Amino acid sequence: MAQNDSAISGLKVLLGVSGGVAVYKAVDLASKLTAAGALVDTVMTENACRFVLPKSFEAVTARPVYTSMWENPAGFQIEHISLTDNSDIVVIAPATANIIGKAANGICDDLLSTMLCACWRKKVFFAPAMNEKMWTNPVVGKNVETLKKMGFEIIGPEKGRLACGTEGIGRMSEPADIVKRLEQMMTK
């Protein structure tokens, strides 16, 4: 097997996937992270599973996917704690207004939001994806600022064609750009 020279090779990435149309990009992100040599564990919300099946992430990462606090594929570990303890960084992509709001306000009502409450000391990246009207909502802006004050980093969003067919800001950053940002972070 060829040696991977990526700055993220060997990095343990916990990928949190919330339920927005950009979930398809998250599968590509998981694939690109894995190809760069990262070990990727994925946590999906129930709504994310409505867009893409967990098997898609399993196929590109060769790792189990976690979807519920009530199912425990790893035995007797408490998932929201063990998953964060065993990761080097956390990436939330797509980060919907819902998960941003939950993380900013300490709401813990599913595996992903509970995990985010437990990983506030980790390096956490959010890649927002939502309609421009949602992204520019003052409440979402306040929640994003709260996340930044907590030390979380925001990647994007970008301008472009949105799921509703309009042009505007709200597109999730491209997976290659997210990987590049993570590689830059690891070389600092």
Burial of 93 (0-12, 13-18, 19+ CB in 10 A): buried
Does the annotation mark 164 as catalytic? yes
Could you tell me the two tokens for 180?
């590049």
Yes or no: say if 19 and 96 are a contact pair by the CB < 8 Å rule: yes
Tokens, residue 37: 């040599």
- Identify the CA nearest to 64 among candidates 51, 79, 50: 79
Contact partners, residue 64, CB within 8 Å, separation at least 6: 41, 58, 73, 74
Q: What are phi and psi of 178, to 5 degrees?
A: -65, -45
* Active-site residue, selected from the candidate residues 49, 108, 117, 164: 164
Q: Write out the catalytic residue numbers.
A: 164
